[in-house]
Structure 1
C-alpha cells in the first residue's frame, strides 16, 4: 500500500514538472513565433506599400527582440524614409548602423546615405552650406562601407555607385548654381555702372552707343555669339541631370509606379 502511494505521489510530481516545463517551452515558442512574425510583417507591409503598418510591425519587433535589433531599426527607418519622414529615418538608420553586422552594413549605409541626400535637397535653396555638408555626409557614408558587404559586380556595389554619382552631380550643380548667382550679381553691378556712364555722356555718344549696340545685336544674330558660355552649359546640364534623378526617385516613391523611394531591403 505504501509502495503504491509512493508511486502515485511520484507520478503526480512528474506530471507537475512536465506541465511546468511544457508551459515554459510553450511560452518561449510563442514569444519566438510572435517576434519572428512582427519581423516578417515589417517586410511584407513594406512590400505592399503599407508603410505605417511596416513601421508599427518594426516597432513591435524592437519591443520584443533582444537580438538582431538592427533589423528593426533598419526596417522602421526605411519605412519612415518611404513616406518622407527623413529625420526619424535618420535616427533609426544611424542606430542600425551602430549595431549592424558587417554582412548587412552596406544596405544600411545605402539607405542612410539616401536620407542624408534628401535632407540636403530640402535645404538646398535656404541654406546651401548645410546642404553641402549633408551631401558630403551622404558621400562619406557610402565611402566608409567595408568591402566585405559590397564585392565587385554585386547589387550593393551597383546601388552604392549609382548613389555616389547622383549625390556628386547634385553637389556640383549646387556649386555651379552658386557661381552663376555670383556672376549674375557682378553682371548687374557692371550694367548699373554702364548705365551711369551713359547718363553722363552727351547725345552724340548715346547715338553712337545705340548704333554700336544695334550692330552688336545683328552680329550676335548672324554669327551665333550669343550662345551660353561653357560654365552655363555645364550648370544647366548638371541641373538637368539632378532633375532627372529626382523625377526617377519620385516615380519609384510611394505614389509612383515603383512603390518605393528607397533601395530594396535585404531581409
Structure 2
C-alpha cells in the first residue's frame, strides 16, 4: 500500500470562483478610477481653457463633466457659469451659478457667490447704461444679497476672501448711489438761468436809467457769464474726480481679484473673479 498523503503537504489552491470575483472587483476599481480621473480632467481642462480665453471650449468641457458625473455637480455648473460670464452671456451665467449655489456645500459657496455677485453687478451696470434704473436697482440689490448671505466660512475676519467681498459690496453701493443720486447738472443750469434773469433785470433797470447805463449793464453780463462758466467747470471737475476715484477703486479691486485667484483679473463680465475648478 502507498502511504497516505499528509494534507498539510498538499499545495493550497484557491477556488476558481474566488479568483474570478477578485478579478471583477479589481476591474471595477480600475474602471471607477479611470472614470473619476476623466471626469475631473474635464474640470481641469475647463479651467485651462478659461484662462486661455477660450470660453466656449471651457463651457463645453464643463458640460461634458455634467454629462459624465453624478457627483459634485455644483462644480460643473460653476465652471459652465463662469465660462458663460467670461463670454458676456450674463443671464445664462446667472442661471448656471444659481444652480451651483443651490447644491454647493458651504466650503465651496465662496467662489460661487463671488462670481454670481459679479454677474449680477454686471447686469446692473448694463441696465444702468440703458437708463433702466428700476432693473439696475434690482440687480445691484441681488448682488449685495448674494454677498451678505455668504456663510461664515467664506468671510473670516481679515481674510483675502472677506476683503474681496467687502470690496465688491462697496463697489455695488457706489455704483447704485451714483446712479440714484447723480451730480446734478440741472442745478448749474438753474443757477445760470437765475443769473441770466438777474442780468436781464439789471439791463432793464439800466435801460430805464438811460442809454449810457444800458451800455454799462451790457458790460456787466460778461463777468456774470464767466461766473456761471466757472461754476460749471467746478462741477465738471468734481464729476471727473469722482469718476477717477471710482476707476481707481475698480482697478484696486481687480488687482485683489488677481492676487486671490492666481492671475484672474475679475472684471465681472469678461473675466469672473474665481476660476473654474
Give the TM-score category using the shorter length: 0.7 to 0.9
Deviation (angstroms), 1:203: 9.0
Measure the CA separation in 1 of the matches of 2:37 and 2:231.
Answer: 73
Residue 18 to residue 116, structure 1, CA distance change in 2 (3 Å) = same
Deviation (angstroms), 1:14: 5.6
Corresponding residue number in structure 2 for 1:106: 110
**C-alpha distance after superposition, 1:84-129 (max 9, x if no partner):** 1111111111111111111121211111010011111112132122
The DSSP-based 3-state class of the residue aligned with 2:129 is coil
Corresponding residue number in structure 2 for 1:265: 275
Corresponding residue number in structure 2 for 1:77: 81
Measure the CA separation in 2 of the matches of 1:110 and 1:139.
Answer: 11
Measure the CA separation in 1 of the matches of 2:138 and 2:242.
Answer: 19
RMSD (Å), alpha carbons? 3.8
**C-alpha distance after superposition, 1:54-94 (max 9, x if no partner):** 11111111111111111111111111111211111111111
Residue 185 to residue 202, structure 1, CA distance change in 2 (3 Å) = closer
Residue 62 to residue 111, structure 1, CA distance change in 2 (3 Å) = same
Residue 134 (1) aligns with residue 177 (2): no
Residue 150 (1) aligns with residue 155 (2): yes
Provide structure 2 residue ranges, at least 5 long, that are not aligned to the other structure: 1-14, 209-213
8 Å CA contact retained: 2:42, 2:65: yes
Larger Rg: 2
The DSSP-based 3-state class of the residue aligned with 2:158 is coil
Higher relative contact order (CA 8 A, sep 6+): 2
**C-alpha distance after superposition, 1:116-168 (max 9, x if no partner):** 11111112132122112211211121111111122122221121112112111
Corresponding residue number in structure 2 for 1:228: 234
TM-score (norm 1): 0.73
Measure the CA separation in 2 of the matches of 1:142 and 1:176.
Answer: 23
Residue 185 to residue 155, structure 1, CA distance change in 2 (3 Å) = same
